[in-house]
Amino acid sequence: MYHSKWRERLPARPAFYNYIAVMFSLNALALFACALTGSGASFGFWLYGGTIVCYHALYLPLLYVTFLADFFQEEDLHLENVYYSEMKDAGFFDADWE
């Protein structure tokens, strides 16, 4: 079996299944709202509008929490200060003060 360093960075299956469950339930609610609207209930139109607002407002935060939150908390991404201090120690910014 092929092993790579990216395999550890991929989301765990439960996180992906939670993402699928949230998206499925939101789409099922939208389908129910469309069925209500098709049968003549005016509440279905408002329910469908609410699902659209929830989808557009919560889709990116859901993607971040499911797939990217663990990636951006790694220590490798906090090395900017280390590189800056190394450059400062090497005298890279001495010309700026003259």
The model's pLDDT over 24-61, given as tens digits with 9 standing for 90+, comes to 999 999 999 999 999 999 899 999 999 999 999 999 99
> What is the per-residue pLDDT for 16?
82
Segments making up each domain of the chain, as ranges = 12-73
User: Which residue stretches of 2-96 are H helix?
Assistant: 6-9, 13-38, 43-63, 69-72, 80-89
Per-residue burial over 8-17, b if 16 or more Cβ lie within 10 Å, else e, is eeebeeeeee
Structure tokens at 2: 């092929």
Residue 17 to residue 84: CA distance in whole angstroms: 41
Mean pLDDT of the chain: 80
Non-local (6+) Cβ contacts of 87 within 8 A are 93
Q: How far apart, in whole angstroms, are the C-alpha atoms of residue 68 and residue 65? A: 6
